[in-house]
Amino acid sequence: MAKLLGGRVETAETSEYGNAELHMDAPNSVLFRNVPETTVCWMSHRDRISVLPPGFRVTAHTPHCPIAAMENAARKLYALQFHPEVLHTPEGAGMLTRFVREVCECSGTWVMDSYLEEQIKSIREQVGGGRVLLGLSGGVDSSVAAALLSRAIGKQLVCVFVDHGLLRKGEAEQVAAVFGPGGGFDLTFRPVDAKERFYRALAGVTDPEQKRRIIGEQFIRVFEAEAKALGSIEFLAQGTIYPDVVESGTGSAGAVIKSHHNVGGLPKDLSFSGLVEPLRPLFKDEVRTLGRTLGLPEQLINRQPFPGPGLGVRIVGEVTPEKVRIVQEADAIFREEMERFGADAGAGQFFAALSNLRSVGVMGDSRTYDYAVVLRAVQTDDFMTATAVRLPYALLESVTNRIVNEVQGVNRVLYDLTGKPPATIELE
C-alpha cells in the first residue's frame, strides 16, 4: 500500500522476526480502540516504510519499525506490518473485528443455520426431481456433503462408497453405520466391495507411483461401473471446499474434477448435466461446524486426514492382503493406545505403517523372520512441513508390546523420528 500510493519502502537495517513490542501512536484509530498503549505483536519482515504515502498517518511503531501501522481513515485504508491473525498478537483479533464491523460495516449476522437453509433451498432448486451421485470416502468433506444433500433431497442422493481394501480397520463398517440403512440419514447408500479387484491389480507392483496410479485407475473403473449400473444420473456432487478451490487455482465448475482420493479424475465419458458443490465457500473448520449442525458423529468430524490411496501408501513395496491385515491391526492398536494415554493432542496425524524390512527375531524357542512396523506421529500446521511428536516412552513401549504380541507377522516396531522435509508424512 505504501509503495503503490506514493510512499517509500526500503530494506531495514534490522529485521524483525517474532514478538515485538508495539506502541500506539494514534489511540483514536478505529482499529486500535481500547488497545493498551503498549502491547505485543508478531513481526516477520526485513522491510520498512521510510516515507509515508500522502494522506496517511502513522498509527503504531515498534523499536525497529517506525511505521508498523498506518492509515488514511478518510479513504478507509488501513495497513499493518505485523500479523494480526496469529495468537502471538493478542489484540489482533479485536483489530480485525473492528476493521470488518466498523470500517467495512459488516453486521456479522451470518450463522451456520442460515447457510444450511440457504443451501438446502438452492440444492432443491438446482436439482429438482433429478438424482445426484456422490463419491463418499468417509472423510470429513464428503461426509458433510452427504449429510447436507440428504437433508435437501433424501433418496435422490446416491452415495457410492468404494471399499478398495486399503481402508483402516473398521472404517467401512463405520461409514456404513452412519450412512447405511438405519444410520439416520435419508439417502441411497451404495457400498461397493472392490477389495479383490484392487488386490489383483496391485499384485507384484512395488513402485510407489505405479501403485498410486493403479489405485486411481481402479477407483475410476469401479465408480464408472457403478454409475452405469445406476442408469443416467443428472448431477455429480463433490465435497469441494474453499482451500481446494484456491489450490486448484480455478473458479469454474468445469474444472478438473478432484476425485475424493485425489489420485486421478473421474472418467470423461461419464456425463453429468450439472455439478453440485455445496461446501465450496467453506473452510475446514466451517465444514466441521456444519457437520455438527447436521448431526454427524464427533468421531467422523474430527477425523484425521486419510490419503485416498489409503494403506496402499502405508505399505512399503508390494501390497498383499496379508500386509493389509498386519497394518490394519497394528494401526488399530496404536490408535487405541493413543486414546488411552490421551496423547494425541499434539499429533495432527498418526498411524502405523509397514516397512518392507523383514528381520530375525525370537519368539519362545523359535526363530522368526517377520516384518517391522513403523509408527509415525507428526505435529503439523499445514501438512506441508511436519515434525515428529515426542510421544511418551511408556506409550511407545505399550504400543510396541501389544503389536508384537497381538499382530501375527510382526517382530519389530520402530518409531519414525524424521521430520518433513526430508521425509514425507506417508511412507510412499
Q: Which residues bind ligand XMP (CB under 6 A)?
A: 261-263, 305, 307-309, 313, 349, 383, 420, 424-426
Whole-number minimum distance, CB 420 to ligand XMP, in Å?
A: 5
Pick 53 or 135: Cβ nearer ligand XMP: 135
SS3 (DSSP) at 198: helix
Pick 170 or 305: Cβ nearer ligand XMP: 305
Whole-number minimum distance, CB 353 to ligand XMP, in Å?
A: 11
Pick 43 or 166: Cβ nearer ligand XMP: 166
β-strand partners of 353: 374
Pick 32 or 350: Cβ nearer ligand XMP: 350
Task: Quote the Cα angle for 129-131-132, to 5°.
Answer: 130
Pick 283 or 383: Cβ nearer ligand XMP: 383
Pick 24 or 324: Cβ nearer ligand XMP: 324
Whole-number minimum distance, CB 351 to ligand XMP, in Å?
A: 8
Whole-number minimum distance, CB 143 to ligand XMP, in Å?
A: 14
Go through the chain and tell me how many residues it has: 428
Secondary structure (DSSP) of 297-341: -HHHHTPPP--TTGGGGTB-S---HHHHHHHHHHHHHHHHHHHHH
**Burial class of 242 by CB neighbour count within 10 A (0 to 12, 13 to 18, 19+):** middle
Whole-number minimum distance, CB 260 to ligand XMP, in Å?
A: 8
What are the distances in angstroms from CA 311 to CA 65, 137, 177, 409?
Answer: 50, 14, 21, 17
Whole-number minimum distance, CB 313 to ligand XMP, in Å?
A: 6
Whole-number minimum distance, CB 419 to ligand XMP, in Å?
A: 10
Closest to 56 in 3D by CA, of 43, 34, 39, 74: 74
Side-by-side strand order, sheet with 274-276: 188-193, 157-163, 132-135, 235-237, 274-276
Is the Cβ–Cβ distance between 218 and 259 less than 8 Å?
no
Whole-number minimum distance, CB 322 to ligand XMP, in Å?
A: 23
Pick 385 or 401: Cβ nearer ligand XMP: 385
Pick 53 or 307: Cβ nearer ligand XMP: 307
For 173, residues 6+ apart whose C-beta sits below 8 A from its C-beta are: none
SS3 (DSSP) at 197: helix
Whole-number minimum distance, CB 262 to ligand XMP, in Å?
A: 4
Pick 16 or 428: Cβ nearer ligand XMP: 428
Give the integer Cα–Cα distance in Å for 349 and 425: 9
Closest to 48 in 3D by CA, of 71, 32, 64, 70: 64
CB atoms within 10 A of CB 135: 24
Give the integer Cα–Cα distance in Å for 210 and 201: 11
Whole-number minimum distance, CB 336 to ligand XMP, in Å?
A: 20
Pick 13 or 382: Cβ nearer ligand XMP: 382
In this structure, the dihedral spanned by the alpha carbons of residues 396, 401, 405 and 406, taken in order and rounded to 10 degrees, is: -40
Whole-number minimum distance, CB 422 to ligand XMP, in Å?
A: 11
SS3 (DSSP) at 417: coil
Pick 204 or 422: Cβ nearer ligand XMP: 422
Cell numbers found for residue 128 = 429438482
**Burial class of 200 by CB neighbour count within 10 A (0 to 12, 13 to 18, 19+):** exposed
